[in-house]
């Protein structure tokens, strides 16, 4: 992998004007480095959402819930909660002693706004396909099928953001895809009671379609970030998440209106097997938990890449299966245990590769009497 270019401020700044007569080389850090602490925070958000969201959604279906558009709506409507941190940061900006012209740059630029809107529409459709699939198949099977999003992410990332495959990333994709194949061995006897073979197959293909849409969305997010002329900080991530889920909510709200879900919610709550209060509790908590997942994924893409976000999502899925076994009493087969080990192997492979790249990738600049010239090192490990 080629080294990152030296920051343009080095070339345009005071270094050029020194007019050194003798040549010498200076080692500069890579332009893009990973904030490991922030990556850990975003990854934690993704883990909480990816495990808690499907369990709560399946719990809704198990005890009498049947509204697929409502279930999809819950995955994105929690974006309203983001108003709190965004407003806090905005008020903090207003009260700061910075130059007033800097406040113009608080909100993200129009092209990023448009990108988040388009991706939000795709996310709304993805939410429906995932919810429809989960209404017919168990959480463990859904996790298996959704792990194929890694292959879709890798494919779309190759074409959209020109993702270069290294030994570590390619090994990770192959190994974790193999983990999905291993899990597929147990699906024949996994049909829930009362679900026909036709509906089971429908859920199967709905979930695969959702995996494909998510695999497309993540490279599109990375592409949108790369086109931004401003740094993508925590505030920009929050705003991107807010707009994206706003449009996803609009898609799901239209679906609910057509399907008349809003009129049926109260009646469905009164007939819920474990009580009306728990019905509304599941709905509220689901909306909050799903936001953790989306915020985590968007943040991980900003810290690393869409491919890493896909790999992280895939490695969480076996743990979702374990959680389903513990809380929903689903079966844990030998195939699931083997898949868990394989997914951990794949994730570790990618993580080691990124860690080596972050530690060893450096840029070399050469200062001459003519100015600054970029000098790419050829003896660093390619990862």
List the chain domain ranges. Answer: 36-93+106-149+192-333
What is the structure's pLDDT at 118?
96
**Along the 383 residues of the chain, how does pLDDT read in single tens digits?**
433 333 333 333 333 343 434 444 444 334 456 778 888 889 999 999 989 999 999 899 989 998 999 999 999 999 998 898 888 888 877 777 554 444 446 678 899 999 999 999 999 999 999 999 988 888 877 877 777 787 788 889 889 988 777 787 788 778 777 776 776 666 556 677 778 888 888 888 898 899 899 999 999 999 998 988 888 877 888 899 899 999 999 999 999 999 999 999 999 999 999 999 999 999 999 999 999 988 888 888 888 887 778 778 777 877 887 788 788 877 666 776 777 777 778 777 777 876 777 665 444 444 444 444 444 333 333 33
Q: What's the per-residue H, E or C state across the chain?
A: CCCCCCCHHHHHCHHHHHCCCCCEEEEEECCCCCCHHHHHHHHHHHHHHHHHHHHHHHHHHHCCCCCHHHHHHHCCHHHHHHHHHHHHHHHHHHHCCCCHHHHHHCCCCHHHHHHHHHHHHHHHHHHHHHHHHHCCCCHHHHHHHHCCHHHHHHHHHHHHCCCCCCHHHHHHHHHHHHHHHHHHHHHHHCCCCCCCHHHHHHHHHHHHHHHHHHHHHHHHHHHHHHHCCCCCCHHHHHHHHHHHHHHHHHHHHHHHHHHCHHHHHHHHHHCCCCCHHHHHHHHHHHHHHHHHHHHHHHHHHHHCCHHHHHHHHHHHHHHHHHHHHHHHCCCCCHHHHHHHHHHHHHHHHHHHHHHHHHHHCEEEEEEECCEEEEECCCCCCCC
């Amino acid at each position: 992998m080629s080294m990152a270019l030296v920051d343009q401020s080095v070339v345009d700044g005071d270094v050029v004007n020194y007019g050194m007569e003798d040549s010498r080389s200076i080692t500069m850090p890579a332009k893009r480095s990973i904030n490991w602490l922030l990556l850990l925070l975003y990854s934690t958000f993704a883990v909480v959402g990816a495990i808690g969201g499907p369990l709560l959604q399946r719990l809704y279906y198990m005890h009498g819930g049947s509204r697929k558009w409502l279930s999809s709506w819950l995955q994105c409507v929690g974006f309203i909660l983001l108003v709190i941190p965004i407003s806090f940061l905005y008020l903090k900006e207003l009260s700061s002693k910075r130059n007033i012209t800097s406040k113009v740059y608080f909100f993200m630029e129009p092209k990023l706004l448009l990108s988040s809107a388009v991706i939000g529409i795709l996310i709304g459709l993805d939410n429906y396909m995932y919810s429809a699939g989960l209404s017919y198949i168990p959480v463990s099977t859904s996790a298996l099928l959704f792990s194929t999003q890694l292959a879709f992410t890798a494919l779309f990332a190759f074409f959209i953001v020109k993702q270069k495959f290294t030994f570590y990333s390619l090994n990770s994709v192959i190994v974790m895809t193999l983990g999905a194949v291993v899990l597929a061995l147990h699906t024949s006897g996994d049909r829930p009671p009362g679900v026909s073979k036709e509906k089971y197959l429908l859920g199967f293909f709905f979930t695969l379609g959702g995996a494909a849409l998510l695999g497309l969305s993540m490279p599109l997010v990375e592409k949108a970030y790369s086109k931004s002329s401003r740094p993508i900080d925590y505030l920009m991530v929050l705003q991107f998440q807010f707009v994206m889920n706003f449009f996803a909510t609009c898609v799901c709200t239209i679906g609910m209106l057509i399907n008349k879900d809003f009129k049926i919610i109260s009646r469905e709550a009164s007939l819920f097997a474990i009580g009306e209060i728990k019905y509304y509790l599941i709905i509220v908590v689901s909306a909050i938990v799903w936001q953790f997942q989306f915020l985590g994924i968007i943040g991980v893409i900003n810290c690393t890449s869409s491919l890493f976000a896909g790999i992280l999502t895939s490695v969480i899925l076996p743990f979702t299966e374990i959680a389903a076994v513990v809380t929903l009493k689903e079966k844990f087969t030998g195939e699931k245990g083997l898949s868990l080990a394989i997914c951990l192997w794949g994730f570790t492979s990618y993580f080691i590769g990124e860690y080596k790249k972050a530690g060893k990738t450096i840029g070399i600049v050469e200062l001459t009497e003519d100015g600054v010239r970029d000098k790419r090192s050829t003896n660093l490990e390619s990862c």
